[in-house]
Structure 1
Amino acid sequence: MCLKIGILRLSNVAKMVAHKFTVDLNKPLVFQVGHLGESYQEWVHQPIVSKEGPRFFDSDFWEFLTRTAWWAIPTIWLPVVCWCISMSVRMGHTLPQTALMVAFGIFLWTFVEYVLHRFLFHIETKSYWGNTIHYLLHGCHHKHPMDGLRLVFPPAAAAILCIPFWNLIKFCATPSTTPALFGGGLLGYVMYDVTHYYLHHGQPTNQVPKSLKKYHLNHHFRIQNKGFGITSAFWDRVFGTLPQTKAADRAR
């Protein structure tokens, strides 16, 4: 009985320490945020609107890997997209057939985009390593949404993730359709990342990009548990995560 009481007291002390932990924004953040414990979720969803990004690591090498200019994404990945699409053409598919496969690959990406954003990037964590990994994956973006060098996915990490996605498509498709489907999915990813950057830093004048920007910033600054689509709100409509308008909220 005494042992149980002692364990409970230690647990309560640990929670109090975690709750009182304060992140020092002047020091590298990644290995600090885990100490926030259960208060991490509240902290990470209180954005700091500044174009200056925080330092993540003491190591200059690891710090370099976390920073990516937006133009690196199309520069690196569009040649890969073209090569993949050309493979299916060389294997005997006509241009209309290949175009259809590419379009389907883009459509598949929009679903992957939604699922990753909703179920992985917004997973709730409270353990030290859970908080740390979540911060690296997506939490940093919600804490510092205007950090222009951490808006797109680092190419090294994207290259690693390409391997299981290629193998998954290869398992489901034929050898000649796999490259075009993968190329379409990769093209969808490029469109997603470039669009995401533009929604934060661009100044759209046309109605469609204006609406997308408003929709995405609404996710950041108003209703962060809805509106998971970036390039469109299609899957939010399908799965019922479309945020209500302010007028509808006031009516309730």
Structure 2
Amino acid sequence: MSSATQRSVKMVAQEFTVDLDKPLVFQVGHLGEAYEKWVHQPIVSREGPRFFESDFMESLTRTVWWAIPTIWLPVVCYSVSKSVRMGHTLPEIVLMVAGGILIWTLLEYTLHRFLFHIKTTSYWGNTIHYLLHGCHHKHPMDGLRLVFPPSATAILLVPFWNMVRLFATASTTPALFGGGLLGYVMYDCTHYYLHHGQPSNDVPKNLKKYHMNHHFRVQDKGFGITSSLWDRVFGTLPPSKEVGTPPPSKMAKKM
């Protein structure tokens, strides 16, 4: 099925029809209980849908991948340097940054499993879920919606900073925070690469298969992006025999 045909497809659920040629965000809530099935029937196309009628609101939903390291790596360096200026040695800094990255990987897993894959049926529940993560499962190859908008990240960094302060000292908080933010940058860049890169080495190649498996075969398992560590710890590792991605042509036919 061509991308032009895909855009004109209308998905019927109950008595409501989602028109893919119109902005989607305020439509999907009307799907009710049918939303869960609809959002997990991916449309494999590099051209993403329109979300809002407003051009300004629409622009806030689109982010190029390289904006993430460009904006946040300087913040990482500044945060880590604060702990350095407070007297910590290089080995201590390395341990704190590594600890921050580890904290992020657990947060990444937890958010993906329990928030991004929450079951919703209400109008606003469906709408918010679609904005958070449902749109990514519906249009997994939309290159401008694979990373988190910086404006939203800036808001979420406030509770993250306060969370780190709860168990860290004044001098270790900046480096732990910087490590967590570095983990996020690695996550978003890795996520983009897994969808659009063509890895040749075994490690990234297997990680890509692992993530594509989550999208196209076993969507209730495989919640790790940068690592399968927490999937192994918490028993959400998908069966290895199911790893793989159906060809885009087959996915298009399913739509």
| Length-normalised TM-score, structure 1 | 0.90
Q: What SS does the aligned partner of 1:142 have? A: helix
- The residue number in structure 1 matching 2:33 is 38
Q: Name which of 182, 187, 194 aligns with 1:192.
A: 187
- The residue number in structure 2 matching 1:62 is 57
1:234 aligns with 2:229: yes
Alignment of 1:1-252 (within 5 A): 19-246=14-241
Aligned partners of 1:182 and 1:20: how far apart in 2? 48
Aligned partners of 1:79 and 1:73: how far apart in 2? 11
Aligned partners of 1:90 and 1:137: how far apart in 2? 37
C-alpha displacement at 1:18, in angstroms?
6.3
Show CA shifts across 1:12-42 (max 9, x none).
xxxxx96221100000000000000000000
C-alpha displacement at 1:245, in angstroms?
2.4
Aligned partners of 2:191 and 2:35: how far apart in 1? 24
| Length-normalised TM-score, structure 2 | 0.89
Aligned partners of 2:15 and 2:148: how far apart in 1? 32
Aligned partners of 2:140 and 2:176: how far apart in 1? 32
Q: Which runs of 5+ in 1 are unaligned?
A: 1-16
Counterpart amino acid of 1:189?
Answer: Y
Aligned partners of 2:160 and 2:227: how far apart in 1? 22
Counterpart amino acid of 2:100?
Answer: G
Runs of 4+ in 1 over 4 A off after TM superposition: none
Counterpart amino acid of 1:134?
Answer: H
- After superposition, the Cα gap between the structure-2 partners of 1:59 and 1:244, relative to the gap in structure 1 and judged at 3 Å, is same
Q: What SS does the aligned partner of 1:225 have? A: coil
Q: What SS does the aligned partner of 1:32 have? A: helix
Asked if the contact 2:217–2:242 (Cα under 8 Å) also holds between the matched residues in 1, the reply is no
Q: What SS does the aligned partner of 1:163 have? A: helix
Show CA shifts across 1:170-193 (max 9, x none).
121111000000000000000000
Asked if the contact 2:213–2:242 (Cα under 8 Å) also holds between the matched residues in 1, the reply is no
Q: Percent identity?
A: 79
Structure ID, larger Rg: 1
Asked if the contact 2:32–2:126 (Cα under 8 Å) also holds between the matched residues in 1, the reply is yes
- The residue number in structure 1 matching 2:249 is none
Counterpart amino acid of 2:135?
Answer: C
Counterpart amino acid of 2:163?
Answer: L
